[in-house]
Amino acid sequence: MSRLSRVGVVALLALGACRPDPVGPPPYQNQESFPDGGAGDGGSNSLPGPDPFTPGSKRLSVGIFYEGGKSDEIPIDNMTTHLYVYSGTVLLQPSTDHIEGKSADQIVSTGMPWWGLGVNWDTAHDLSAWKTMHVSFQATDASFASFTIGMLAANAANPVTVNATPYGFTPDGNWHTLAIPLADLTVQGLDLKQTTAAIVLAGTNAPGGANLRIDDLYYTQ
């Protein structure tokens, strides 16, 4: 299914979502899924990204937000591996403003007190061999000045997270490429051998229509 078709699915899911209780942590168990998609524009405007893949090197893709070369992949199949929007808090749309591949994805707030989405797996995967998460973001709305990036393990109820800001993100309209050592998560107790969410993004108080672009997500050793 194309990204444009996927947007329609997300919109229908969001219309049926209940507004979450703004008090307490986001209810990550209240998840809404939608089909995986491919590149959005199908044209020739393909970018290699800030760190193009080198054949023979180790690079893991988790099946979304990345179109480049890889040595390993855990694709989204919507049976055991999923891209979830949490409680209809955002819509996901294609964007031709990208830093890698042919398009990026635009996370659009639906105006709830918090927002979140993640790549979640029904069965845990061992990611202990991978050392760094690479991901790029772009935004202009000040509500994205502080949001969290994390991962979840099977033995934990909530993700282990870090704030995007110390890794170089600011909502100044430019693309910012972050390299997050997974040790910054494991030191907080994340068990990478039992990973059940490869990435979880969450923030608060983004007004309806505010957007955050994401692109070039992969993991290296």
pLDDT at 27: 56
Sequential pLDDT tens for the chain (221 residues): 333 333 333 332 332 333 333 334 455 556 776 554 443 334 468 999 999 999 999 999 999 999 999 999 999 999 999 999 999 999 999 999 999 999 999 999 999 999 999 999 999 999 999 999 999 999 999 999 999 999 999 999 999 999 999 999 999 999 999 999 999 999 999 999 999 999 999 999 999 999 999 999 999 99
In CATH, the architecture of 3-17+54-220 is: Sandwich (2.60)
pLDDT at 17: 34
pLDDT at 33: 64
For 200-211, letters b (16+ CB in 10 Å) and e give bbbbeebeeebb
Cα maximum dimension of the chain: 48
Q: What is the DSSP letter of 180?
A: E
What is the spatial distance between Cα 167 and Cα 163, in angstroms, rounded to a whole number? 8
